[in-house]
Structure 1
Amino acid sequence: MHAWPASEVPALPGEGPDLRIHDTATDGRVTLNPGSVARLYVCGITPYDATHMGHAATFTAFDLVQRVWLDTQRQVVYVQNVTDIDDPLLQRAVATGEDWTALAERETALFREDMTALRMLPPRHFIGAVESIPRIVPAVERLRELGAAYEVDGDIYFSVEADAHFGEVSGYDQEMMRLLSAERGGDPDRPGKKNPLDPMLWTAARAGEPSWDGGSLGRGRPGWHIECVAIALEYLGMGFEIQGGGSDLVFPHHEMGASHARTLTDEAPFAQSYVHAGMVAYQGEKMSKSKGNLVLVSALRRAGTDPAAIRLALLAHHYRADWEWTDDVLEEAVRRLGRWRAAVSRPDGPSADGLLAEIRAALADDLDAPAALAAFDRWAALQQRAGGQDPGAPGVASRAADALLGVAL
């Protein structure tokens, strides 16, 4: 599966500081100091509908991670999956009468268009679940050989009791885990399971549903968590720097993935840090495909909204915060974009060296994009009010906005 084209990242003088970021597993900040190569895995879309602001906010956060690392002169190996086979996708296809593969391909293509418009740097590896089945099957077979998997009516489950460290990513108690499992694709009440929390590794073939040859597992399709584990281990190995996604992935997805990987490899950690973006609400509820309360990136683009303004609207909120999308949020971003473009359009201005340092420091401090935007606001206001004599300042400011914030001025 191919990703989307990369926008050029302008060169900046000097280099930025190392990233310090909040780790969900320890509930504290960690300073990430990779070697020459930094590794990032972000859980991607299930392509049964278009990209909404919740998706866009999450991917913007991890786009900033890439930009901060690139600014430290490191290479970045970024991996993102596409869950192009799963229950929600099949259910939507049945409801609309559309072939599930056509639905997945169309929505994945639209996702690529949205990411390109928003100047998201693409992953080096953009991998679908279907194409990963040859990696997933041996992983499930290995878990069964280790005694960490078992069968219920042909379906293969992972036994969470096989991992002594299960629960360390989320820190949730059993009651909360069971509640979230039921809400987020699990089946805690299914008879025959050893533990209500045990997740599906391989779903046996169902009549009328697609299935694949699973070797000793029989025909079927992969579970959600093992998909990401197989892809991450293939392209990143154990101990990569960041596993990222929305905060709704803390449990069960990232918790289960860590358990799968530790059990498969007898190593730890799966990821050095678990980083989660907050939820975006609309009209008083979390924005989600299941509820249908969506503000779509593609719809805003079709209405003529500048993608740079959409990106500024997202950056105005700290990535870990829960917030609500409103018309006012977008209108303020449009005004901000106009002020910034006016500021960099002048032939000279006040020195932007301090601005560059402020943006770098803000982003290295747990991706504090609102602080970075405030720094640019101050420089733009000074430019408008007093100007300056540095002919290179507008260019430095413009390149900093593009390279570090992904905002093309």
Structure 2
Amino acid sequence: MRQNGERWRAPYATDPAAARGRLIPEAASPTRSDFQRDRDRIIHSGAFRRLKHKTQVFVHHEGDHYRTRLTHTLEVSQIGRALARALGLDEDLAEALALSHDLGHTCFGHTGEDALDRLMAEHGGFDHNAQALRIVTRLERRYAGFDGLNLAWETLEGLVKHNGPLVGPDGRPTARWATRGIPAAILDYDALNPLDLHRFAGPEAQAAALADDIAYDSHDLDDGLRAGLFEIADLATVPFLRGLLDEIDALHPGLESSRKIHELARRVITRFVEDVIAESMRRIGALAPRSVDEIRGAPSAVVAFSPAMEEADSEIKTFLFARMYRHPGVLAVRAKADLIVADLFSAFMEAPDAMPEEWQEGLGDASRSRRARRVADYIAGMTDTYAVLAHKRLFATTPDLHWHAQNRELPLAEG
């Protein structure tokens, strides 16, 4: 164990003292590690602040009790730090990766991403992970000495590869990227500053990725129940959730709905976190890694769900896909949001001078693909509110995004 009050760090953790550095060299901070510095830069970025007004599944009109990208990000950060602490990883790197993982998401949740991906099909497509990389390496323009945030190599590696390697040992894209190919933004940056796309990211990135899954499962169940998209009784079709509900009923018979929903959400997080810690320690014990490099070179992820919990995660996501993401009311709002994004894209492609002056720079003789990428960057950075206002400024009529599943909004149970 480390002495002098420093947190314990396992030998297989990412050590900030051995970080590979930044693309643009900078003097070390006398008070913060590289990863603490990265975390702070992410929090102070414009892209991070905009997460406050970007939605997950619901649009912003539906009530202040539902998650936004920012509240989701904070929940992922809390879970990611808990996993890192239990596994002896670098908590600051895990936190930085959790805080940055959604920076590339567009307005209107996945609807905006799907719309931009379709509209950009002839120009390289749109992917939120690649967009996050663009933001932290190019689009944030705050510092005198560089564009982007000039993050440490380990932070960029985790941002790009938190879901696993992008290419196999033969250099071909992995299954996820086999059809569409790896986004150009990632390949271009990798050519400049290689991120070892054929290897796993460090364990902190793996922990942040699972924290994202855990937070999604818990808070989408919570938001879906509070919105009236489905009822508590409907969750009995998922064995894992049925067991938790039976436990709650046995301990707290007759519990009111709002408290029951919260008890369920907190138990989902607890069980998943405990499972990840136990399974990851089992895998670490089997691999016996002596360095973070051995984690990167392992044949599979080291921080992971057990097979039983992986099945539970899959069952929850299947339920949510059918009952929440494909709910007729949600789909109706998504169609309207899609129209807003498509209208804005068309308008800015035809008249780039309708964008703010700094976004028009250099587009005078630019190719259509370069113009399209600039327009996509601009729209992707919009909050839900700003996108609606921009549409109202450019078009005579704007779709109404108001919708309530059952005109229902329950008070939050905090803690």
> TM-score of the superposition, structure 2-length normalised?
0.29
TM-score by length of 1: 0.29
Higher helix share: 2
